[in-house]
Each structure stands twice: as structure tokens, then as C-alpha cells.
Amino acid sequence: MDMTFHGGDPLSGVATHCQRILLTGAAGNLGAVMRDRLKRYADIVRVSDLADPGLPRPNEEVVRCDLADAEAVHALVEGVDVIVHFGGVSVERPFQEILPANIQGTFNVYEAARRHGVRRVVFASSNHVTGFYGQDEVIDANAKARPDGNYGVSKLFGEGLAQLYFDRYGIETVSLRIGSSFPEARDRRMLATWLGYDDLEQLLCRAMFVPDVGHTVVYGVSANRDCWWDNRCAEKLGFSPVQSSEPFRAKAENLPPLQPDDPAVRFQGGSFVSAGPFGD
């Protein structure tokens, strides 16, 4: 990818390389995609997951880790400069399945960052923090949280931790409310929420290296024709997406139409707003 940023760039004159990046969730969908791309920005990428991330590749360290194990996370974080925290359950599930990795695990990551003096975390939050807004609304990061399920609540908890650890300990975080990051937009909703992988990489680079971010929340979304999210609150990052869902519009719009009362066409969170109960 040609990592050329746009005019007035806050990264002008700022080093975009460090010694060691920790990537949690390296065996997950987005972790697997970003695993090699992060090597542009560090001498070593330490990759970790509860699942087996496979053998180490060049310029990698591989550490399997249960994020719910505080001491294991403490050891995992030692010696890193930046944490890219993608680890955790990434879909709507019962709360007891969300709790260990998404809530206890995120707390353990921040505690380990504090104990080891890590000054920057990139937290993979989610658009599901605000999933109960309607698709006829445009919101920014200052809008009241309206999580659409247990998963959204866990990401809101992570954003709360990020604010606490900045205010109390000075650890800076960029919370990425990621939309739908896949090779292509799969349906009509994703025409508005799609985030291309090149745009995600640009966003990660900025989240890691733009100075003085405090705790910044940014929606992770490409330059789609239709969009429900206004990123004016994160202008300091200088994120300027270069991809768009338009190449996938014809295919998505050729899918059978959904009923007007279907959550996937009413709410920004789509089907997440009605997921569950899980066998109760």
C-alpha cells in the first residue's frame, strides 16, 4: 500500500516506527489481516491470541495468552511500546461468554500497560456502542451511547477504561469504533458501514503515532457514499479514507430486499439489536 497521507497531516515530521508493537487477537479476522501490515511500523510485532496464532513469521514473536489471566497478560505486555488490542469475542453472545476476554481481559491489558509504562493503546471498539440509533440519523462520537447488546456494552466498558486510564495515569488511547471491515461490503447495511483494509491500516498508523490524542474516539469507516457517522470529533487524527463501498453497490442492492421492520434496515447496529436470547 502507498502510505501517502493528505495535506495538513498531523503525522508530518512524526516518527511512525517503534521497536515493538503488541497485537492481541492476532488469530481473529482483522488481527490476521493486520498482522503483516503492522510490521511496517515496528522492528518486532508480538502477536497473541487464545487460539493458536501459528508459527512466528519474520520479525514476529508469538505468545499464546488468555486475556482473562492477569499474570499472563502482565508478561505479555512487558517490553512493548504500543498495544493494538483486537483481542476478544467479536460477535453478540451471552454475557458470560463476553465477560472473560472483553471485560476482564481489557481491564488486564490496561493494568499491564500501567505497570509496564506503556503510553499508547489502540482499542478495537465497535459501532455497536451506538447500534440503537436509527439509520436515518447521523451521529458523532459525542452522541449518547446506545449499545445494542452484550458485545456493545463490553466495548463501551473498554472505552470507559480508556478514559479512566488516561485521566488517572496518562495512558493515551484511540478507540476505533469499527464498522464492517471485510474484503467487500456484503449487504445494503455494509454499503454505509464498510471499512476497507487499506483504510483500517491508515487508521491504525494514525492511532499509534499521532501525538497528544488523550482518549480519542473515531468511527472506522471508509469514504462511502452513505454514512451515519461524523468523525469531526477525531479531526486531530487526520484520518482521510481513500476507499469506498461503491464497487460493491450493484451486488449488494441485487440481494432480496428485507422487510421494512427488519432491524437490519432500521438500526445502525443491524441484526445485533435483536440477537438472543441464547437458549433461555
- Cell numbers found for residue 181: 471491515
Q: Which of 151, 165, 197, 219 is catalytic?
A: 151
- Cell numbers found for residue 271: 441484526
CA-wise closest residue to 88 among 38, 28, 150: 28
Element (H, E) at 35: helix 29-37
Task: Identify whether 169 is a catalytic site residue.
Answer: no
- Using DSSP's 3-state secondary structure scheme, residue 166 falls into helix
Q: Which residues contact 132 (CB under 8 A, 6 or more apart)?
A: 146, 147, 148, 267, 268, 269, 273
Pairing of strands 215-220, 172-178: parallel
> What is the spatial distance between Cα 33 and Cα 67, in angstroms, rounded to a whole number?
20
Helix, strand, coil share (%) of the chain residues, nearest 5: 40, 20, 45
Active-site residues, by number, are 151
